[in-house]
Structures are given as C-alpha cells and as structure tokens.
Amino acid sequence: MSEIRYAVGIDLGTTHCVMAAVDLHASDRDELAEGIEAIPQLTGPGAVEDRSMLPSFLYLPHPDELRPDDRTLPWGEQPAFVVGELARVMGSRTPIRLVASAKSWLCHPGVDRRAAILPVEGPEEVERVSPLQASMSYLAHLRAAWDYHHPDAPLAEQEVVLTVPASFDPAARELTAEAAAAVGLSHLVLLEEPQAALYHWILAAGDEWRKQVHIGDIILVVDLGGGTADFSLIAVTERDGALELVRVAVGDHILLGGDNMDLALAHTIRAKLAEQGAQLDPWQVQGLTHGCRHAKEILLSDSSVVAVPVVVPSRGSRLIGGTLRTELTREEVTQALMGGFFPEVDASARPASRARAALTKLGLPYAQDAAMTRHLAAFLGRQVDATRDLQGFAGSALEHASFLHPTAVLFNGGVFKAPPLLERTLAVLNGWLNAEGAPPARLLEGADLDLAVARGAAYYGYVRRGRGVRIRGGTAKSFYVGVESAVPAVPGMEPPIEALCIAPFGMEEGTHAELPPQEVGLVVGEPVRFRFFGSSVRRADHVGEVLEQWAPEEVEELEEIAATLPAEGRQPGEVVPVRLRAAVTEVGTLRLEAVPREGAESWKIEFDVRGER
Amino acid sequence: MSDSHPSFFNRLTLALRAFWRILTDEPFAASVLRLEGEMPVAAGPAVAEPPKPALRETSPDSALQLLALLQQEGRFVDFLEENVTAYSDADIGGAARVVHEGCRKVIHHYLRIEPVRAEAEGVRLTLAAGFDTAAVRLTGNVVGQPPFNGTLMHRGWRAVEIKLPRLADGHDVRVLAPAEVEL
C-alpha cells in the first residue's frame, strides 16, 4: 500500500454531492494545495461533462430508454443505473423511476434502510434499491471519478472525510460508514456538516480567524441546504494559552430546505395561473419551479426589481403559441419566503406540530412547520444551558436568559446565496438578543456556500494530522437503554421503564465508556431488543445513572437496538447476564457491545434492526 | 479529430469501405493501385513544393452538439422553426424569454466569450501596424498605411474557451431533440 497522498472531503448531500481534496505532499504551513474535484458525469444520453457537483439522484432506466452506449462513462463503465445530472433530468420527466433524497431515507427510523424500497412511488416492474444502496452508488461514482483523475493515488488509499448532518442519529451514521466501507473507502472519518462549514471558514480566513473570534464567543452555524436544515453551536475556549473550538450542541434533524422554498413559490404561481384558467401538467410544474427559482434569485439579489416575468414553456415544439406567461412579484416572494419560511417570531416561539394522520403511505417525515426561525428558536431555547459547564462561560451565561445567546453566526448552504434571507435570519436572531439585553451577533463571512462543506472536510483531513486548530466535541448526545423497573406487576399496566445511561455526553473518537454496574439479561440464541434513548441536553449524566422519569423534550426515544447472543457453548433459551458498553470508533460511529460477566468475548449490538423483525 | 489524422475507427470503416469498392469497382481499384505506387514518392523529402492554399471541411459534430444543447435548454430550434408572423409581439416576447434565458445559460456554461476590444463602442482608437486583421475588420475609408485611426463601431466577440460535453462513440449527434412519447 502506498503512502496517503491526499485528504479528500466528500459532502454526500441530500440534493447534490461535492468532492474536494488537499494534496498533503504539496501543502505546508504557508501554502495549502486544495481545491474542488471535477466529477465527470452523464449530462445527456451519451454526453459526459465535468461538473463540480454530482446531483444526488439515481435513475433506474427502462431497457428501451437508454442504449448501453448512452451510459458510457469516461472510465469505460456502462452502469445499469444512471447517477448525477442525467438522472435528475430523466427523473423530472419520469419520476416513477427516480430515487431522490436517499440521504433523508437513510436516517428515517420508520423504514428498513437495507430493504429495496426506493423509488417509493415506482410500479411493480421497476427494480428497487435500498437507501443504503443508493448512497453506495453515489459514493461508487465519486470513487470512480476520483480514480479516473488520479490513477496513481486511488481513493481507497487516501484519507477520506465524509460529512453527515450533525443531527444524524447513531444508526444513520453507521449506515453511512457502512456505505463508504462497501465501496472500499478504508481510511474513513465522519465529520458533522456544520463543523465542516466552520473548518472552511477557518481555511478561507487564514491566520485572520484568530482575530475574528475571541474566547467566550459562541458561534451558531446555520446550515440550510437543498433538503435539510442543520444547526450547531461551537464555543471558543482556551486551552494551554491557545484558542480552542468546542462543539457544544447540535440540533434536531429537520427536513426543510431550499427545494421546499422553490416549490412554495411554484405553488403560488400555479394558483395564479389557475385563476386565469390555465391548468398545468406535472411537466409544466417542473418548468414552473425552475422559472420561479430563476425569478427568485433575481428578485432577492436586486432590490430595484419589482417583478420578474415567469414563462412556462409548452411541452410540444410550438413554443410561441403554447407558452404560458405570468410574473413573480417582490411581494409574492416576500410573502412566501419571508412570511412562510423566515417569519419574524419571538424567541419563545416553537414549531407547530400537528398530530400526524395515520401512516397510510410510506413517506419522508418532512418538517411540519416550514418556519426556519421557529426551529431556530426551539433549538436555542432547548440549549440554553449548553455552555454552563464550559470553562470561562459559567459567568457569562445570563441568569434570566431564556435561550442560548450566540455571539457570532456562520451561514452555510445554497439558500443563503440570497442575501435577504441571510439578513432576515440574522435580524430575527438579533431581535431576540436585543430583547434580553444581549449584544447583536456578528456575521462571520462565509464563502462558496455550495462547496464549503466538502472543502472544509478536506481541510479537516489535513488538520487532523496535527497541522491546525481542531474542533473538539465528541458525541452530541448522551445515550440510554430502557430497562424495566423492578416493581410489582400490575395487571393491564406496562411496567414503567427506566433509562440507564450507557454513554455520556461528549465521548470523543476512539474512546470507550466504562462499564455500567447494572446488568441486563440476554436470552441465548434469540434477538433481544432494548428501547434506546438519546438526550442532547443532559450533559452531566454518568454511565450507570438511572433516570426514573424525564421530560419529553429532554430525552428522545430513538430506534430500538437489538443484541443476539450466539448459541455456541450455551443452552438456547438460557439467560446470560451482560453489561452494555459504549465506544466511539475512530471513524466516528457509536458502537455498543454486550459484555458478559465472564470471558473475554463481547457481542456487537445492532442499531438498524427493523429489517429483522 | 483532424482530417489528416483519422481515428482508428474512422480508419477501420474506411478500410472496410475501400475493401468492397476495390473488389467491385474496377476503375477505383486501378486508382488505388496508382496511389499505392505513388506513396513513397509523395512522402519523399526531395520535392520542396510550397503547400497549396486549401479549404478544410469542418466537422459537423460539435455544431450539431451545440445546436442540441441550445434546443434542450433554450428551445432554440423550436423558436426558429415557428412562423412568428402569426403571433403578437407580446406572445413572441414571452417565448423569447425562454429562448434567451436557456441559450444564454448554454453559451455561458460551455463557452467563455469576451469582447475582442475592451474599449467602449464609439470611442476613437489607433491600430498600430501588425494588428490582427482577423480580429479587427476595417471598414469605410480604408486607405493608407497603419497606424490607422478610427471609431470602434462594434467590440467584436471572441470565444476564449470552449468545452463541450464528451460524447460516447455511438452517439448520434444528428438527433437534436428526441421525439417525446408519454406512456
């Protein structure tokens, strides 16, 4: 095996993937050789182009749609399934064969992520793939693209930093790592996307970054991509006289992003066209969404424009006669985006959640409240105590604060390419701060909003070799298993459940937690399921601590986990007392093990167990 | 894809075509024989005749490829093939937006186009001797010797860079837009 030459950052996004690299051999303290990697991909049948982004779409073509020649990639492969731009284009005409948002499915606890379920709307004869396979196909394409451009330094032998949303649960992280391992990426590390964005900011600011932040700063990272919203809080502290960054909190997984905004605008216009008596077919709605995105970008970047014409081309070759024409006005954009997605709300506002209708159809758990600002208020409110135990912050936390007061904000994601949306978010946040007598938060100037995460990830691969500042943080949750409490059974009532802490908050990569004193019984030869919980606010719980009751907003139930003890050397049905031990792997995934009282062996506990039911 | 250096596949098809024609076409076979006899002479260094000015055929592939992209993104062919006299200016204007937005996207994505002259149109400028006559065209009172003084009427355009998608071998560039049949 050759020496590692590159640190490669991969942003495996909900709507597109980006790959960046730092050449470790060519980089030193003064000069960093880094950049975005071009990704050759099909952009039309038989046409290949280099693009900086690979749309995260997989298209499962019918045999009569594309000839093998039409699928030829530069490295001579003719894959049966199409990935990237061509997949996106073909899918816009034939959605029943399109797999989209695989990443959101990968962290959807309601489905078996290893089962071939996508595309959900596909008819019987369309071959299906699992969310895991879809993610693997994007990674496999990126790997092939890399190897094509760097025949001397195959990706499998490079250090790869793969980004995941900060809000990904342990099961989704493990599945992501599994997908990467399956395509042969052996030197793998996971990094949270908001952290990657901050690494990119440090990279872009150069030595200046130390002057732009101070000890005691709390940086809020707001990452709003095509499909997801992700928040993180990173505190600036001091260790041995040097600045240190500590990620103190991450937000919930919110399926809400730029695509929702374009759709919202398209619906506004569609209603307007319907009033004029024009009915649009799905193909025209696609064109309309595209037109709205374009019009929105003009309206949001130039305040002197009052209205932008939007035309919906006809599908047939008669362009002039069949084209529908309308316009998108500034007021409509303001109302739909500012009012719908960035409303001015109080710091005490919380997202509305209505009871879900019975699950009749398989679908993604999209955010029910589109108001980004309410989600942000909820996050800051929940994390009001996030810095309480941090050195140097104890005094600064105001007693009467109702939410955590950030002092600086870094925005990331394509949505914020529209300056008014960024300004609005900052203004709302500063309004909350002002109401509690706190100074306004500073804006940390970001750049490259679409590509920052991949570049930051590659840079992290570089600094992890001891060549720059690192963000500490470890796990952003403490984890618990549910154990039935020992109370006399009452007929008709489930025994109350207690939560036993097995992994404390902030476990770092490559460490393991101590063994809790409590034992649980595992039945030999049968899968034994445990309820599994996580908390993003209980920072002080130690391993072995037992919660008898908790507030619903404090501890959240995750997917069940399961352990199976092999029957070797034991009687099936025998109950073996074990203790549960947590570890965080070098890759950055949580690993749970069942450790029996005697013997050196231990058994892995699986997260994603739905498929085995 | 220069004409003087045909690719392997071009040579292969040529060889197959020539094979049949030599078998079936007697005069053709005779000329091939002559050509074969002449080859060593033509390749020899003895004759230092200056090359005759020649016109070259351009390959239609990239032209068709660009046309297909303009159609795909900007409905360019649809627009040109439509009878505009039948419509009002407002209707044509609506369609022109589709064409303009899409074609502009294609031109900006696949080519880098810059003005030939950086000066503003309407200013007086001086062309020194040895200026590029291909990039600057003289009009009007064209007499005398450089330096020439004149007014910039049009800045000109130059494609600084062009990067079209690579095509698979069997790709038929003559299909500018496939017919669409919805099932």
pLDDT tens digits for A460-496? Answer: 999 988 778 889 888 889 999 988 766 666 677 777 7
Record the pTM: 0.84
Residue reference for tokens 């995105």: A293
Out of 3.90.550.10, 3.40.50.1820, 3.30.420.40, 3.40.50.10490, the CATH code matching A214-255+363-452 is 3.30.420.40
| Phi-psi category of residue A363: left, alpha or beta, with phi > 0 → left and psi -120 to 50 → alpha | beta
> What's the confidence (pLDDT) of residue A609?
56
Of all residues in chain B, the percent with pLDDT exceeding 90 is 42
Q: How far is CA A253 from CA A96, A366, A426, B118, in A?
A: 27, 10, 21, 51
The reply to whether B161 touches chain A by the CB within 8 Å rule is no
Sort out which chain A residues have CB atoms less than 8 A from B78's CB and list them: 317-319
Sort out which chain A residues have CB atoms less than 8 A from B103's CB and list them: none
The residues of chain A that CATH labels 3.30.420.40 are 6-191, 214-255+363-452
Q: What pLDDT digit, counting tens, does each position of B121-167 carry?
A: 999 999 999 999 899 999 998 998 989 999 999 999 999 999 999 99
Min Cα separation B139/chain A (Å): 38
Sort out which chain A residues have CB atoms less than 8 A from B81's CB and list them: 317
The reply to whether B91 touches chain A by the CB within 8 Å rule is yes
Please choose, from the candidates A13, A165, A377, A290, the residue with its C-alpha nearest in 3D space to the C-alpha of residue B73: A290
Cα A133 to Cα B158: distance, rounded to the nearest angstrom: 46
Rg (CA), chain A: 25
ipTM of the complex: 0.72
CB pair distance less than 8 Å for A46 and B168: yes
Checking if the pLDDT of A25 tops 70, the result is yes
> What's the confidence (pLDDT) of residue A427?
96
Residues 6+ apart with CB under 8 A from A259: A15, A226, A227
Residues 6+ apart with CB under 8 A from A495: A484, A485, A487, A489
Minimal Cβ distance to B166: which of A69, A74, A93: A74
Q: A611: number of CA atoms within 13 Å, CB side?
A: 12
Cis peptide leading into residue B147 (ω within 30°): yes
Q: What pLDDT digit, counting tens, does each position of A434-469 carry?
A: 999 899 999 998 778 889 999 999 999 999 887 788
Sequence-ordered alpha helix ranges (H) in A404-536: 419-435, 452-463
In this predicted structure, which of A134-138, A278-282, A579-583, B56-60 has the lowest mean pLDDT? A278-282
Q: Are β-strands A442-444 and A471-472 bridged in parallel, bridged antiparallel, or unpaired?
A: unpaired
Q: What pLDDT digit, counting tens, does each position of A229-242 carry?
A: 999 999 998 888 78
Mean pLDDT of A556-565: 84
Min Cα separation B158/chain A (Å): 23
Sort out which chain B residues have CB atoms less than 8 A from A311's CB and list them: 94-95, 97-98
> What's the confidence (pLDDT) of residue A198?
95
List the structure tokens of A548.
Answer: 């008898």
The reply to whether B109 touches chain A by the CB within 8 Å rule is no
Q: Which residue has the higher pLDDT, A28 or A333?
A: A333
Answer for the pair A405, A386: CB distance below 8 angstroms, yes or no: no
Q: How far is CA B183 from CA A94, A100, A125, A127, A159, in A?
A: 10, 22, 15, 18, 47
> What's the confidence (pLDDT) of residue A409?
96
The pLDDT-based confidence of A576 (bands split at 50, 70, 90) is: confident
> What's the confidence (pLDDT) of residue A99?
92
Nearest CA in chain A to B96: A320
Q: Which residue has the higher pLDDT, A396 or A122?
A: A122
Checking if the pLDDT of A201 tops 90, the result is yes
**What's the mean pLDDT when you consider all of chain B?**
83
Q: Which residue has the higher pLDDT, A398 or A153?
A: A153
Of all residues in chain A, the percent with pLDDT exceeding 90 is 40
Cα A556 to Cα A538: distance, rounded to the nearest angstrom: 11
Rg (CA), chain B: 25
Mean pLDDT of A309-334: 83
Mean pLDDT of A37-60: 94
Cα B100 to Cα A520: distance, rounded to the nearest angstrom: 69
CB pair distance less than 8 Å for B169 and A311: no
The reply to whether B105 touches chain A by the CB within 8 Å rule is no
Cis peptide leading into residue A119 (ω within 30°): yes
> What's the confidence (pLDDT) of residue A486?
64
Please choose, from the candidates A43, A97, A34, the residue with its C-alpha nearest in 3D space to the C-alpha of residue A65: A97
> What's the confidence (pLDDT) of residue B1?
40
| Phi-psi category of residue A336: left, alpha or beta, with phi > 0 → left and psi -120 to 50 → alpha | alpha
Mean pLDDT of A328-346: 90
CB pair distance less than 8 Å for A46 and B87: no
Residues of chain A whose C-beta is under 8 A from some C-beta in B?
A: 43-49, 67, 69-70, 72, 74, 93, 294, 309, 311, 313, 315, 317-321, 323, 325
> What's the confidence (pLDDT) of residue A577?
85
Min Cα separation A64/chain B (Å): 12
CB pair distance less than 8 Å for A49 and B165: yes
Please say whether the structural domain A258-339 has been given the CATH code 3.90.640.10: yes
Of all residues in chain A, the percent with pLDDT exceeding 70 is 95
Checking if the pLDDT of A109 tops 60, the result is yes
Checking if the pLDDT of A611 tops 60, the result is no
Cα A256 to Cα A371: distance, rounded to the nearest angstrom: 9
* Contacts across the A-B interface (CB distance below 8 Å): 72
Q: What pLDDT digit, counting tens, does each position of B23-57 carry?
A: 667 766 767 676 666 544 444 455 667 778 888 88
Checking if the pLDDT of A137 tops 90, the result is yes
**Selected residues 122-151 of chain B with any CB under 8 Å from a CB in chain A:** none
Sort out which chain A residues have CB atoms less than 8 A from B70's CB and list them: none
**What's the mean pLDDT when you consider all of chain A?**
87
> What's the confidence (pLDDT) of residue B41?
45
The pLDDT-based confidence of A43 (bands split at 50, 70, 90) is: very high
> What's the confidence (pLDDT) of residue B104?
94
> What's the confidence (pLDDT) of residue A289?
84
The pLDDT-based confidence of A165 (bands split at 50, 70, 90) is: very high
**Could you give the 3-state DSSP secondary structure of residue A196?**
helix
The residues of chain A that CATH labels 3.90.640.10 are 258-339
**Secondary structure of A467-487 as H, E, C letters:** CCCCEECCCCCEEEEEEECCC
Min Cα separation A202/chain B (Å): 31
Q: Which of A115-129, A545-559, B101-115 has the highest mean pLDDT?
A: B101-115
Please choose, from the candidates A108, A118, A171, A173, the residue with its C-alpha nearest in 3D space to the C-alpha of residue A609: A171
The reply to whether B62 touches chain A by the CB within 8 Å rule is no
Mean pLDDT of A541-569: 84
Sort out which chain B residues have CB atoms less than 8 A from A320's CB and list them: 79, 82, 84, 87, 91-92, 94-95
Cα A467 to Cα B129: distance, rounded to the nearest angstrom: 56
Mean pLDDT of B63-77: 93
Checking if the pLDDT of A588 tops 50, the result is yes
CATH number of A6-191: 3.30.420.40
Q: What pLDDT digit, counting tens, does each position of A347-367 carry?
A: 999 988 754 444 445 677 778
Length of chain A: 613
Cα A61 to Cα A496: distance, rounded to the nearest angstrom: 51
Q: Which residue has the higher pLDDT, A150 or A324?
A: A150
Please choose, from the candidates A108, A112, A107, the residue with its C-alpha nearest in 3D space to the C-alpha of residue A129: A112
Mean pLDDT of A522-527: 80
Angle of helix B89-110 relative to helix B60-74, nearest 10 degrees? 130
Nearest CA in chain B to A72: B168
